[in-house]
A and B are shown apart, each in its own frame.
Chain A
Amino acid sequence: MTLSDVTLEHLRAVAGEPDADGRYEIVDEIARGGMGTVYRARDRELGREVALKVSLQPGNEAGLEERLLREARVLARLEHPGLVPVHDVGTLPDGRLFYAMKRVRGSRLDHHFAAEPSIPARLRTFERICETVACAHAHGVIHRDLKPENVMVGAFGEVLVLDWGVARLRDDGVAAAPGPVDEAPAPGRTAHGTVLGTPGYMAPEQARGDVEGTDERADVYALGAILYFLLTDAAPPPDGSAGSPRRRNPAVPRPLDSICTRALAAEAGQRYPTVQTLAADVSAFLSGRPVAAHREGPIEWASRQASRYRTPLLLIAAYLVMRAALLFWPR
């Protein structure tokens, strides 16, 4: 007797499903990553739907359970609308570690951007990501794996930053040992060698395994890479050579190009020192104010002022034209 591919796939999925006879009833699988699988589940005690993140297998192979627990603790430590609240942590009857969190609905940032062509609207979403990351930094947490796949956007534009499994707590040592990436992962996938992160979104010092030198500015780099993606609709090259987004999309305004280029500087010292300063520059651009990363010429200055004060300038011009017309109008 032979089994079809579909049957085999189903059996594999069923075999992989956690044994959750206790409080949680598994409904279906939502996502699968290198650290664990996220399931939609029903909390029998509270009668609500939750998301269960379950480690891949029992036992602490490759420190995966440690990372899962670290992620749960990081999320529990932070309280922000941009972070998913953790409800519960425990071990399933089959020995696998899990944590239960709020079930989030929405679309991944890259999918959201695909349906949202307006750059100002995208930038406002980007600002909310920055706010969340800045909150984490204020609590001593560095995400270290920011990328569009790890950000969800809800139906009302709310932003949720996910996947804190490789986050580093500033005061409790390190999560990644120094050394090069064991094998190059596919772009968009998190590396699981001695260095954790995603090529293209990973700061050079993080990619080198310079643990001591990896601080908040590594997240600034990753946010710069997300900004690059936002402006060009293309992921930054995995070799870290993204550079100016205007090279890929000449329509990108120069101030935004400068913001992105500064955030993506290879040297951490050349980047924005904090996420707040990056967000402040994006906010300045959105409101028509000068940005710190860009030195504008007189024509750019005039163009920005004209754009910022378009309505009053139009009204004053209308008044002057009206007055001039009445002056020369034959009576």
Chain B
Amino acid sequence: MGKPIFGLFLGAVLGVLDGSTAWFSAPEVRPQILSIVFFSMIKGLVAGVLIGVFAKKVRSLPLGILFGLAVGAFFAYLIAMQPNEQGGHYYWEIMLPGSILGMIVGYATQKHGAGGGAPAMGS
């Protein structure tokens, strides 16, 4: 499996899991949970492909993680920009976990997927 495809799948799965946590973290949005999970999956999927393409081009674990952070934060920001019913925003609730998920996908696409991996960081 190529790195972009691997990133796509991993991003989509993590997006679904991340979106599902809204059921617990924001009970007031439970009526919209399906659309939240769906858009979270799409966000993870697109971010995952981009991070996977980067991993294919650049073989560097630190840079891969950094790129994942940036892409994850950017897409999470696009989602968080949409106001809720009260006109508020869930910047922290969406952007912080989204950024970390981007880092996880960045790490995973550097280490796995066809095309070889980067040397391990640390041990």
Q: Which residues of B contact A311 (CB under 8 A)?
A: 61, 65, 107, 120-122
Chain A residue nearest in CB terms to B122: A310
Q: Tell yes or no: A46 within 8 A of B by CB.
A: no
B25 contacts A by Cβ under 8 Å = yes
**A6 CA to B21 CA, complexed, in Å:** 85
B103 interface residue (CB < 8 Å to A): yes
Asked if A326 lies at the interface with its beta carbon under 8 angstroms from chain B, I say yes
B interface residues with partner A (beta carbon < 8 Å): 21, 24-25, 61, 65, 92-93, 96-97, 100-101, 103-104, 107-108, 120-123
Q: Say if the beta carbon of A186 comes within 8 Å of chain B.
A: no
Complex: A329 Cα to B123 Cα, angstroms: 35
Interface centre among B25, B65, B100, B103 (most CB of A within 10 A): B100
A127 to chain B, nearest CB (A): 15
Which residues on the B side are within 8 Å of A47 (C-beta)? none
Chain B proximity mask over A301-314: 1 for CB below 8 Å, otherwise 0? 00000011011100
Q: Are A326 and B104 in contact (CB under 8 A)?
A: no
Residue of B nearest to A304 (CB): B123
Interchain Cβ contacts under 8 Å between A and B, 30 examples: A287-B120, A288-B123, A307-B123, A308-B123, A310-B122, A310-B123, A311-B107, A311-B120, A312-B104, A312-B107, A312-B108, A315-B65, A315-B103, A315-B104, A316-B104, A318-B100, A319-B101, A319-B104, A322-B96, A322-B97, A322-B100, A323-B21, A323-B25, A326-B25, A326-B92, A326-B93, A326-B96, A326-B97, A327-B25, A329-B92
Return chain A residues, CB-CB under 8 Å to B107: 311-312, 315
9 closest A-B pairs (Cβ-Cβ)? A319-B100, A315-B104, A307-B123, A327-B25, A322-B96, A326-B93, A318-B100, A315-B103, A322-B97
Residues from chain B with Cβ under 8 Å of A326 in the complex: 25, 92-93, 96-97
Q: What CA separation (Å) do A312 and B106 show in the bound complex?
A: 10
Cβ-defined contact, A323 with B97, below 8 A: yes
User: Which chain A residues lie closer than 8 Å to B25 at the CB level?
Assistant: 323, 326-327
- Residue numbers in A under 8 Å from B101 (CB-CB): 319
A277-306 interface bits toward B, Cβ cutoff 8 Å, 1 = contact, 0 = none: 000000000011000000000000000000
For the residues of B in contact with A, the DSSP-based class is helix
Q: What's the least CB distance linking B52 to chain A, in Å?
A: 16
A329 to B108, CA, bound (A): 30
Mark A residues whose CB is within 8 Å of B: 287-288, 307-308, 310-312, 315-316, 318-319, 322-323, 326-327, 329
Cβ contacts under 8 Å, A318 to chain B: 100
- Name B14's closest neighbour in chain A (CB-CB): A319
Say whether, besides A311-B107, A312-B107, A319 and B97 are in contact (CB < 8 Å).
Answer: yes
Distance in angstroms from A323 CB to nearest chain B CB is 6
When distances are taken between beta carbons in the complex, the residues of chain A under 8 Å from B65 are: 311, 315
CA distance A310 to B71 in the complex (A): 22
B121: A residues at CB distance < 8 A:
311
Query: Within 8 Å CB of A308, what residues of B?
Result: 123
Nearest-Cβ distance from residue A329 to partner chain B, whole angstroms = 8
Measured CB to CB, the closest approach of chain A to B24, in angstroms, equals 6
Q: A311-B61, A326-B97 are in contact. List 14 more A-B contacts (CB 8 A).
A: A288-B120, A307-B123, A308-B123, A311-B120, A311-B121, A311-B122, A312-B104, A312-B108, A315-B104, A315-B107, A319-B97, A323-B21, A323-B97, A329-B92
Provide the residues of chain A in CB contact with B104, threshold 8 Å: 312, 315-316, 319
- Chain B residues near A312 (CB-CB < 8 A): 104, 107-108
Write out the residue numbers on chain A whose beta carbons fall within 8 Å of the beta carbon of B97: 319, 322-323, 326
CA distance A288 to B122 in the complex (A): 11
With a 10 A CB-CB cut-off, give which of A310, A311, A322, A329 has the most chain B CB atoms: A311
How close is B112's CB to chain A, nearest CB, in angstroms? 10
- Provide the bound-state CA to CA distance between A288 and B119, in Å: 13
CA distance A315 to B120 in the complex (A): 15
Taking the closest CB of chain B, its distance from the CB of A304, in whole angstroms, is: 10
How far, in whole Å, are A311 and B65 apart by their CA atoms in the complex?
10
